[in-house]
Amino acid sequence: METIESAGYNVYFETGLAPLSELIQSGKYSQVFVFVDSNTLESCLPVFQSMLDGFSAFDLIETDPGEENKNIDFCIGIWKTLLDFEADRKCLMINLGGGVVTDMGGFVASTYKRGIDFVNIPTTLLSQVDASVGGKTGIDIDNVKNMVGTFALPQAVFIESAFLGSLPKRELLSGFAEMVKHGLIADAEYYKALKESDYEAVNIKDIHHSIAIKNKVVTTDPQEKGLRKILNFGHTIGHAVETYSLKHDKNPLTHGEAIAIGMVCEGYLSKLSNNLTAAELEDISSYITAIYPAYRIKPESHSALLDLMKSDKKNENGQIMFSLLREIGQCDFNCQVSEEQVKESLEYYNGLPS
């Protein structure tokens, strides 16, 4: 599988982590840390060690799993752990886990002693297709996603399908939402192919293609000044719904489930204000609702959801900014719609057959 060259580092596919061994040796690091959560400690660390032939010359740092723990308090704990280990600026942090681990691990590494080297090994489908390229790190503040973060590049990223074997179906479906998004914003043929595929049988070729789409966008606009904003299609509403669900639901939505809702709602806004056709909206809505579980957006939550959208990082001059489809495979950014239209899109989603 072809290596993808991103802005300043490589994304390796199915190498058995061989280049990681070379990187550790050539870097002459004073210490190596492997950052995991309790889930990846159990299911992924043994795979990691077997690939590196029982490699044990590292210190382990563990955190609790879940988006609710991606906050400054946990970061402080990790920084203190590094201090306890007397880690200097020549150490390496290997982030082994899903998006929470790579987001938070990258943030910790990019800020500890003004920056240490780090490597990302994403172990979920979501983190492989979404967090593997782009150089973004971040943590949440008051349940608002990624409100504090940095742009920091890893030394390398490794995509290994061996880590996906332990994922439950719900986690595969969560990552699949980002793949669908990549097709909708930039590659209509890819979107069509995904519709004809089975998310449970997603293959490394599709993962590679999805990462290549995102990489092309982020290398064009690494600081998210323009084109990169199209990657936020489905996320303005989706992040708000995800945050609300985390706070109020006993069984909160996954990131991908929330983004699926966001893509339907923002597809509706695309029809209202950006010339997406009714047939294309029907295509998107029927496909997404067929594979993702139904979720009711309570009318009494509308005000809270709008308040969350107003905290979105993409906003300008107090105006909620959307990335909306012009057609399937093409997306525009910095689109404005009214609050009433946003509420209308939420009602549109609620009115779809489940």
**Does pLDDT of 242 surpass 90?**
yes
Q: Are residues 208 and 162 in the same domain?
A: no
**Mean pLDDT across 16-22:** 95
Whether the model pTM is above 0.85: yes
Report the distance separating Cα 139 and Cα 243, nearest Å.
Answer: 13
**Mean pLDDT across 96-105:** 95
Give tens-digit pLDDT for 58-98.
999 999 998 889 999 999 999 999 999 999 999 999 999 99
Q: Are residues 206 and 75 in the same domain?
A: no
Confidence of residue 224 (pLDDT cuts 50, 70, 90): confident
Instruction: Please enumerate in sequence order all residues whose Cβ is within 8 A of that of 231, keeping only pairs 6 or more positions apart, or say none.
Output: 134, 181, 185, 214, 217, 218, 323
Here the CATH number for the domain that contains residue 214 is: 1.20.1090.10
Q: Are residues 206 and 309 in the same domain?
A: yes
The total domain count for the chain is 2
Q: Are residues 115 and 252 in the same domain?
A: no
Here the CATH number for the domain that contains residue 48 is: 3.40.50.1970
Q: Quick check: 33 and 237 in contact, CB under 8 A?
A: no
Give me the pLDDT at residue 73, please: 95
Give me the pLDDT at residue 29, please: 97
Confidence of residue 312 (pLDDT cuts 50, 70, 90): confident
Query: Which of 166, 198, 216 is where one domain is finished?
Result: 166
Confidence of residue 227 (pLDDT cuts 50, 70, 90): very high
Give me the pLDDT at residue 317, please: 66
Q: Are residues 260 and 331 in the same domain?
A: yes
**Does pLDDT of 313 surpass 90?**
no
Give tens-digit pLDDT for 158-178.
999 999 987 899 999 999 999
Query: Which of 135, 166, 197 is where one domain is finished?
Result: 166
Mean pLDDT of all residues belonging to the chain: 94
Q: Are residues 130 and 185 in the same domain?
A: no
Structural domain including 201 reads 169-350
Q: Are residues 155 and 201 in the same domain?
A: no
Q: Quick check: 274 and 332 in contact, CB under 8 A?
A: yes
